[in-house]
């Protein structure tokens, strides 16, 4: 016997609900019990009771949600004796060529159209046979002439070209589906109608075709079913695809599909295809929400599910993606490989935890199919060659904008570089990987400033690079007075940060240092990216060399910063293609700064409070207005990341008669991400007239992580 309860939310509502379902907590404190939740990243969809499942859901912006808990009992998986017609995918023919497997990587990390490889590049690639008759082998010239190498490939449709669209419909319910009507729509306007006059048994499929002539632009095709029968769900009765979207392929074993048919998924149906097609829709929704200065309208690129390949031999079907001319005619694929145990004993239904949540790894992994890299490659745990002077911590780095899809699997939009890249290449074949790393302004500068934002003249700047080692047999060269050192080029990009600097220079009177454009092996891609001489040198497309450690030294006091290639790419995509300046703020004082406090120290008072104390500056000039303190400012910094990763932040400003300050570690903890280190540092500056500050005098709280 099933028990039901009365659900009250917002207004009194009588509804039948199972004994155990999801709980949704709103940001304003309201609680919605016994509901069913779908997480789409920027929004949360909610069915308030079981009778709504499979139909339209209520939508809430994620900012209105504090948390949710997925908790469903066995009634969720009961098989209704109903049919369920699903539009599983719409295939488009003829197909455009993709470049997956046709890009090779040499020891300098150059992507060159000449070979097949089904893996992301990781370093040296062994020479392989040319990709096939469809690619033109230009020998050494191929690196700089990708258009000529790919001139035989069909990469776009011509206006008016005949296109065949095939809608696949499957009964994913548990009873026969009777005849139904259907309609084809282009951009919301009906272009075809018909009726399926036969019944479909459980898991039986049928197809419907539409002939259409290609029209340039951003057009949508919709295939819609209308059935007089009651069904398990209606949200799968329609598929709406962006015709300009990148066509993706799913390859899956028939046994796995049948195993998924045993249980209901987060999408509300008993269907592998519905669940994973939903993730394609989520990708497009997140694309639209990825709005930045360089992509003010979000990402215009889209993805669509062009094919599902059902097979009893996944390995064989995967190999058959490659045509006889060596080209793969899709823009990416996701392949559910079968384990030896599954091949031997069959497939088990997915776990309840897996199928009832969003599989955030899939949008991330499909991002790789579009050419997007893992931004977490820029994270760095540090090494013994570069340590903090005060406590010996390794100098670490955690990406400055980690809350994005290609850094972390999760309900995140795409970052600005990914958005701008996809906008620039929305109509280009997929197969390149990370070539946007080549998007670096022609001239790049560092501006070193002090605590007051004024230039630091005569500071020594040493730059060390991840993925490199300085060539002991090489000789330094100079570019605008800045030295750069040759590095070993053997295809090994997995080295730690170099022990020796690759760049050394001194700031000018304006605190400026021009970064040298180090020589490279040049290469161009079909996406219009060109690796020219640049500060990162032979940057590889996985990105290890996209991280450099900067040591700035003035007054015998070193400060550490990190240069992420991400910031240089953002500048390029925002239009700063010729010149870009990155400002690094040091804790040094200015010429007009008051004298700094002395003997800054910190001590624990209890589990969450510390006392920071200091002595006043030594008086060197009587009655001098530049030396007159009007107060003191207390700072805190957490982690041993670079100063531009996790900077100093003020926690108190007090009058000049105060000599100590009690800091609550919990209340003053900025909720940043302290991945590698939670070391607490404190600093005090003297505040002079016009809020001019002295240098920061630092101290470290040893053995306390809060």
Instruction: Output the DSSP codes for 142-196.
Output: GGG-HHHHTTTS--SPPTT-EEEEEEEEEE-SSS-B--EEEEEEETTEEEEEEEE
As a CATH number, domain 85-94+157-369 is 2.60.40.10
Contacts of 629 (CB under 8 A, 6+ apart): 594, 616, 617, 656, 686, 687, 688
pLDDT of residue 308: 98
> Would you say residue 705 has pLDDT above 90?
no
pLDDT of residue 620: 84
The domain over range 434-585 is classified in CATH as 3.40.309.10: no
> Would you say residue 11 has pLDDT above 60?
no
Q: What are phi and psi of 362, to 5 degrees?
A: -70, -50
What value does the mean pLDDT take over residues 403-429? 97
Helix or strand or coil: residue 47?
strand
pLDDT of residue 622: 87
369-404 pLDDT, tens digit per residue, is: 999 999 999 999 999 999 999 999 999 999 999 999
CA 641 to chain centre: 21
Nearest to 100 by CA among 265, 331, 294: 331
What predicted TM-score, i.e. pTM, was given to this entire model? 0.93
Pick the more confident residue, 132 or 630: 630
pLDDT of residue 124: 35
Contacts of 206 (CB under 8 A, 6+ apart): 168, 169, 170, 196, 198, 200
CA angle 248, 308, 326 (to 5 degrees): 60
Pick the more confident residue, 6 or 450: 450
Question: Do 80 and 174 meet the contact criterion of CB atoms below 8 Å apart?
Answer: yes
Pairing between β-strand 303-311 and β-strand 246-253 as defined by DSSP bridges: parallel
Identify the band that residue 520 occupies on the pLDDT scale cut at 50, 70 and 90.
very high
CA 308 to chain centre: 26
Identify the band that residue 1 occupies on the pLDDT scale cut at 50, 70 and 90.
very low
What value does the mean pLDDT take over residues 136-156? 95
What value does the mean pLDDT take over residues 559-573? 98
What value does the mean pLDDT take over residues 72-84? 97
What is the percent of the chain where pLDDT is above 90? Answer: 92
Cα torsion 181, 186, 188, 191: sign: negative
Interatomic CA distance for residues 648 and 499, integer angstroms? 27
DSSP code string of 196-220: E-S-B-TT-EEEEEEEEE--SS--E
**Which architecture does CATH list for 7-77?**
Roll (2.30)
pLDDT of residue 702: 82
Question: Do 58 and 32 meet the contact criterion of CB atoms below 8 Å apart?
Answer: no
pLDDT of residue 9: 31
Interatomic CA distance for residues 454 and 398, integer angstroms? 27
Structure tokens at 561: 């910063």
Q: Which residue has the tokens 């145990």?
A: 341
pLDDT of residue 253: 98
Q: Which runs of consecutive H residues, i.e. helices, occur in 471-540?
A: none
Identify the band that residue 703 occupies on the pLDDT scale cut at 50, 70 and 90.
low
Nearest to 290 by CA among 436, 374, 406, 416: 416
Nearest to 106 by CA among 520, 566, 565: 520
Helix or strand or coil: residue 367?
helix
Question: Do 598 and 588 meet the contact criterion of CB atoms below 8 Å apart?
Answer: no
- Same CATH fold, 598-705 and 434-585? yes
DSSP state of 96: P
Identify the band that residue 303 occupies on the pLDDT scale cut at 50, 70 and 90.
very high
pLDDT of residue 621: 87
Interatomic CA distance for residues 127 and 125, integer angstroms? 6
pLDDT of residue 130: 41
> Would you say residue 706 has pLDDT above 70?
no
Identify the band that residue 535 occupies on the pLDDT scale cut at 50, 70 and 90.
very high
What value does the mean pLDDT take over residues 564-578? 98
What value does the mean pLDDT take over residues 19-36? 94
> Would you say residue 497 has pLDDT above 50?
yes
Dump strand ranges (E) for 214-315. 220-226, 238-242, 246-253, 303-311
H/E stretch holding 119 reads none
> Would you say residue 284 has pLDDT above 80?
yes
Pick the more confident residue, 414 or 625: 414
- Report the range of poorest mean pLDDT among 576-585, 686-695, 696-705: 696-705
Contacts of 246 (CB under 8 A, 6+ apart): 301, 302, 303, 304, 331, 332, 370, 430
339-378 pLDDT, tens digit per residue, is: 999 999 999 999 999 999 999 999 999 999 999 999 999 9
Nearest to 410 by CA among 381, 436, 375, 382: 375
pLDDT of residue 374: 98
Per the rule left: phi > 0, alpha: psi between -120 and 50, beta: everything else, 205 is beta
What value does the mean pLDDT take over residues 608-625? 92
Q: What are phi and psi of 680, to 5 degrees?
A: -100, 130
101-143 pLDDT, tens digit per residue, is: 999 999 999 999 984 544 444 433 344 444 447 899 999 999 9
Dump strand ranges (E) for 300-428. 303-311, 333-335
Q: Where are the domains of the chain?
A: 7-77, 85-94+157-369, 434-585, 598-705
Identify the band that residue 493 occupies on the pLDDT scale cut at 50, 70 and 90.
very high
Report the topology of domain 598-705.
Answer: Immunoglobulin-like (2.60.40)
Q: Which runs of consecutive H residues, i.e. helices, occur in 382-429?
A: 416-424
Cα torsion 590, 591, 595, 601: sign: positive
Pairing between β-strand 246-253 and β-strand 238-242 as defined by DSSP bridges: unpaired
Question: Do 321 and 334 meet the contact criterion of CB atoms below 8 Å apart?
Answer: no
> Would you say residue 479 has pLDDT above 90?
yes
CA angle 409, 413, 417 (to 5 degrees): 100
Interatomic CA distance for residues 457 and 510, integer angstroms? 6
Interatomic CA distance for residues 371 and 121, integer angstroms? 11
What value does the mean pLDDT take over residues 526-534? 98
Q: What is the mean pLDDT of the chain?
A: 93
């Amino acid at each position: 016997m099933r028990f039901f309860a009365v659900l009250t939310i917002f207004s009194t509502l009588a509804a039948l609900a199972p004994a155990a379902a999801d709980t949704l907590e709103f940001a304003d404190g309201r609680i919605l019990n016994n509901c069913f939740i779908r997480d789409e990243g920027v929004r949360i969809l909610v069915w308030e009771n079981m009778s709504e499942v499979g139909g339209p859901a209520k939508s809430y912006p994620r900012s209105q949600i504090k948390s949710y808990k997925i908790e469903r009992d066995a009634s969720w998986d009961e098989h209704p004796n109903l049919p369920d017609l699903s539009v599983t995918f719409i295939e488009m023919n003829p197909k455009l060529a993709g470049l997956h497997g046709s890009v090779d990587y040499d020891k300098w990390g150059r992507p060159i159209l000449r070979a097949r490889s089904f893996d992301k590049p990781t370093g040296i690639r062994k020479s392989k046979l040319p990709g096939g008759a469809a690619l033109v082998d230009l020998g050494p010239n191929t690196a700089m002439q990708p258009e000529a190498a790919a001139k035989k490939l069909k990469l776009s449709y011509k206006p008016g070209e005949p296109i065949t669209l095939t809608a696949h419909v499957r009964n994913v319910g548990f009873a026969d589906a009777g005849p139904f009507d259907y309609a084809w729509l282009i951009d919301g306007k009906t272009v075809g109608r018909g009726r399926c006059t036969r019944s479909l048994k459980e898991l039986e499929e049928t197809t419907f075709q539409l002939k259409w002539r290609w029209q340039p632009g951003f057009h949508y095709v919709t295939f819609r079913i209308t059935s007089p029968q009651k069904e398990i769900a209606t949200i799968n009765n329609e598929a709406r695809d962006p015709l300009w979207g990148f066509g993706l392929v799913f390859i899956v074993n028939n046994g796995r599909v049948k195993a998924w048919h045993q249980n209901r998924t987060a999408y509300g149906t008993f269907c592998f295809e519905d669940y994973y097609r939903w993730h394609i829709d989520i990708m497009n929704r997140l694309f639209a929400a990825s709005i930045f200065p360089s992509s003010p309208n979000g990402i215009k690129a889209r993805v669509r599910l062009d094919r599902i390949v059902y097979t009893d031999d996944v390995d064989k079907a995967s190999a058959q993606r490659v045509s006889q001319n060596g080209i793969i005619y899709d823009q990416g694929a996701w392949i559910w490989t079968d384990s030896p145990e599954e091949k031997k004993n069959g497939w088990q239904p997915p776990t309840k935890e897996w199928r009832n949540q969003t599989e955030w790894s899939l949008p991330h992994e499909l991002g790789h199919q579009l050419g997007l890299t893992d931004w977490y490659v820029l994270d760095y745990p540090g090494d013994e060659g570069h340590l903090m002077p005060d406590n010996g911590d390794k100098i670490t780095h955690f990406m400055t904008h980690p809350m994005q899809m290609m850094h972390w699997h999760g309900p995140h939009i795409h970052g600005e570089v990914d958005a701008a890249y996809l906008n620039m290449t929305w109509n280009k074949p997929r197969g390149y990987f990370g070539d946007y790393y080549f998007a670096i302004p022609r001239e790049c500068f560092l501006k070193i400033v002090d605590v007051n934002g004024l230039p630091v003249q005569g500071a020594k700047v040493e730059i060390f690079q991840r993925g490199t080692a300085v060539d002991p047999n090489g000789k330094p060269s100079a570019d605008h007075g800045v030295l750069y050192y040759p590095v070993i080029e053997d295809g090994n990009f997995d080295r730690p940060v170099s022990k020796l600097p690759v760049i050394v220079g001194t700031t000018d009177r304006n605190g400026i240092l021009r970064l040298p454009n180090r020589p490279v092996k040049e290469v161009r891609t079909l996406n219009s990216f060109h690796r020219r001489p640049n500060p990162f040198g032979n940057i590889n497309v996985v990105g290890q060399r996209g991280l450099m450690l900067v040591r700035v030294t003035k007054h015998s006091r070193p400060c550490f910063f990190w240069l992420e290639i991400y910031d240089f790419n953002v500048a390029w995509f925002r239009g700063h293609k010729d010149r870009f300046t990155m400002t690094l703020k040091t804790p040094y004082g200015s010429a007009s700064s008051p004298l700094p406090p002395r003997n800054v120290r910190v001590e624990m008072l209890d589990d969450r409070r510390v006392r920071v104390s200091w002595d006043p500056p030594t008086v060197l000039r009587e009655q001098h207005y530049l030396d007159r303190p009007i107060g003191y400012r207390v700072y805190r910094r957490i982690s041993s990341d670079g100063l531009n990763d996790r900077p100093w932040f003020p926690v108190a400003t007090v009058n000049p008669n105060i000599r100590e300050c009690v800091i609550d570690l919990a209340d003053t903890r900025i909720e940043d991400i302290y991945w590698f280190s939670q070391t607490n540092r404190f600093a005090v500056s003297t505040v002079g007239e016009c809020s001019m500050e002295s240098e920061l005098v630092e101290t470290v709280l040893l053995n306390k992580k809060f």
